Structure 1
């Protein structure tokens, strides 16, 4: 009996996928199903479904690879029930890079045309086409005041561009007052929203645009207040390169916290103590991924002027990029758990180092939006007290 045209198309689609799965076959087979990933997964804690853990996702991919499973769309759906927070990879005794594995798997299984009209066009028009975005939100125009010293290129990123423009202005002012020759790249995207959605074409488009802007500026440092962007440029770009667009080692790519820590770690300064004020600190997942938790806490402790707490458990906020769009209820459930661990009191400030976390934390009724700050806000408040001593170092 001959396959119908529809079934034949689906059959060959699965066959093509099987061929592509060969490149991750060794990684899949290295998983020993110990279940360590289950104990740290914020999504599994919310749903209790095994197929939402890293072990479960790997088992589904192995089933597809061995031709035991054929419903590619269902497997793709389960792969996207993931925050890409990286906690499972950190817990894995086999050191499987689960975040990279699941991004590659999404690319293999992706059918971008099946995304909702709203989601697809939000991603495309507000990220891939910066001229349209700048027409709606306006363009950043900042004047550099220093033309000597080492050059810092501040990459604002999508969320700073659209929702937290004051942070870009403050960061620019901080670098200027520290004596750096500062320039700005705005209206561009690092590409991670597309890559995590499985759209390699738009990822490469965004990446090539940003790469070109960086090379044209010839900076000593590329700095961003978004650790997700820095994690993407430092790690993801090289993993998903498929070309020669790799930044020279002469250009140091650093998160805002890491950069200022290297500059201010020996500074004998502490912000003026503020009585009866408490600050809670939320550690972004990509701050952990970059391995700069201590650097981030150094800045918060140094510039806060009050006691700092991070809650009983420093867990994920539940944003996860497009995860919060595709699974809003699950995203809010993860957020609720995080807010309970923070135990926010009235008028307490909540500080984090990531614009995506700021946006997600602001969805909670447990904290006022105006009380959610980026580390940039704390540093900016005190930068005039230390800038004079630093200019001589540069």
Structure 2
């Protein structure tokens, strides 16, 4: 039996009885394993970013058509002996790329491009498995927070669609007189990759704070800045698609001058295409495609300055730092784009430009997130 307590004893002194969480299992379900899921998504993010870089190198090294079949399961094993290599090489020798562009290629040269494409596809399989095992693990353990099952499932579904679109893209270069994949299919493939990357980044940012913290932060939402960063996100996405069109027809190697295009502001024969369908020039004429990509880049930079000027007025230090980082990366990306043109898209320069697009994309999304859910600073701590 407990002893008598003094009327002067402070309330709360001694060992307090454990308090059960409000809502029991329901509350635990609502919270879920936010930290674990965030870490899993961060791994997926890094893998998808690597996938984009490897895909870019596969395109720049003209390796994308080296594997002429789509075998999602059995294709995981590369050729393991001389007979298997000879069989793979024979399939490639029957393709338009070999017949029209690489006639006489030796087996060793074929192996070098084969490994790039095989590695690209293998990385895609790894991403799929990491998503599948992670999702099923959290689902079975009942650790997915309320409202997040559909979001996480959607990421996996987009990944599956991306695999099918990848083959749809490759198949366009395996028939007729094609020696490259169709540029608009390449743009679709890259665009979905950036959508997946953007969704994962957004979810990682959301899971970095509790639902309560997010609800409180949204009360300080900067609507104007959120709208501007949303517009910049869409604008950057369009520019990424235009960059894919440039890469798809090797337009980046056609005009190695700046600020002019081989001595002209607007390239000659910009609307010429072999079959006479002028509208196809927007996808197939190197001069017109690169001109549009350049002009869009200038406009994106100008719009970025507007976003930066607005963002630096934010009352939140974290948001100001975020828009400063966007502006710095945007400037770096413009310089990289110019250098890529001047070097006729040398492999190491062009892939750096593509990686720069990934960094800019994520930084814009982060600035947008902080405009929607600002982090309140403290004057006393110097974080305001």
| Shared fold, TM over 0.5 | no
Larger Rg belongs to:
2
TM tier relative to shorter chain: under 0.3
Higher strand share: 1
Higher helix share: 2
